[in-house]
């Protein structure tokens, strides 16, 4: 893991059915090692996303703005560690991430605001906690190149007393220094899983937040709708109809 931190990288996303995951893992087992923490290979993550009251960061992503930001507190439940993270997507398609250790919860203390002031082009005092995205994550490290793969399962979106489960969908992200041949990408293509996805924050906000624009995400949401047929998810996804 030390060799594949990849804090400045390219990301390639895929969404596919959870039913397909065992087959994918079986076919790539000779190409990757799996991260294990205290005997667990599916680790629990809880992520709190921040935005302005007007949902500026969400709407910038929705409108396709380049040089955009996401701000979140991520808790690694199994190891008991939490970070405040700034994720920046630049106009060259690269993801640059910086972070500091921080407490869980929605408060941004003096240390947090000092860090955010250095990272953001706007006043971080505008930020408020918006929603949680929780999931189990499998992390794979390539045996052959500087590549890390994250596979998120059992997604759950939470805002106040609203909760949406996306149990039938998997989101995989291939993280590399630069795009190159990848064993998992080839296997996914073989199973007709094509590159493309929506950020977990934007999907959650589109489904659970009132008053946000969703027009530019409708096609992606319709694709995701085919993977989620349980009542809770299906009812939420109908918003894109």
* Rounded CA separation 69/58 (Å): 9
* Rounded CA separation 205/207 (Å): 5
Domains of the chain: 2-236 (2.40.320.10)
Q: How confident is the model at residue 50 (pLDDT cuts 50, 70, 90)?
A: very high
Which residues 6+ apart lie within 8 Å of 107 measured at CB? none
Handedness of CA 234, 235, 236, 240 (dihedral sign): positive
* Rounded CA separation 230/232 (Å): 6
Q: 73 near 46, Cβ under 8 Å?
A: no
Alpha carbon separation from 13 to 56, 79, 114, 151, 209 (Å, rounded): 23, 26, 32, 10, 23
* Rounded CA separation 25/186 (Å): 13
* Rounded CA separation 1/7 (Å): 12
pLDDT tens digits for range 103-136:
888 999 999 999 999 999 999 999 999 999 999 9
Q: Is the pTM of this model over 0.85?
A: yes
Give the number of other Cβ atoms within 10 Å of residue 146's Cβ.
16
Tell me which residue has tokens 């809770």. 232
Give the range with max mean pLDDT: 9-13, 55-59, 65-69, 230-234.
Answer: 55-59
Nearest one of 39, 4, 8, 20 to 140, comparing CA atoms: 4
pLDDT tens digits for range 147-192:
999 999 999 999 999 999 998 999 999 998 878 889 999 999 999 9
Give the number of other Cβ atoms within 10 Å of residue 104's Cβ.
13
């Amino acid at each position: 893991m030390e060799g594949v931190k990849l804090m400045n990288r390219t990301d390639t996303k895929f969404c596919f059915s959870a039913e397909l995951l065992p087959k994918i893992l079986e076919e790539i087992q000779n190409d990757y090692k799996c991260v294990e923490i205290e005997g667990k290979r599916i680790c629990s993550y809880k992520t709190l996303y921040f935005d302005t009251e007007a949902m500026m960061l969400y709407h910038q992503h929705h409108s396709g703005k380049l040089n955009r930001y996401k701000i979140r507190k991520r808790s690694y439940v199994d190891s008991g560690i939490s970070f405040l993270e700034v994720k920046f997507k630049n106009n060259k398609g690269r993801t640059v991430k910086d972070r500091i250790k921080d407490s869980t919860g929605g408060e941004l203390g003096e240390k947090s605001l000092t860090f955010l002031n250095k990272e953001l082009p706007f006043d971080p005092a505008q930020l408020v906690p918006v929603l949680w995205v929780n999931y189990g994550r499998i992390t794979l490290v390539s045996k052959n190149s500087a590549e890390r793969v994250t596979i998120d399962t059992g997604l759950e979106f939470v805002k106040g007393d609203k909760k949406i489960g996306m149990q039938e969908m998997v989101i995989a992200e291939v993280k590399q220094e630069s795009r190159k041949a990848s064993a998992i990408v080839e296997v996914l293509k073989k199973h007709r899983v094509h590159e493309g996805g929506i950020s977990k924050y934007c999907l959650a906000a589109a489904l659970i937040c009132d008053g946000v624009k969703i027009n530019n995400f409708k096609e992606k949401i319709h694709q995701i709708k085919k993977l989620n047929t349980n009542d809770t998810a299906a009812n939420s996804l109908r918003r894109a109809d």
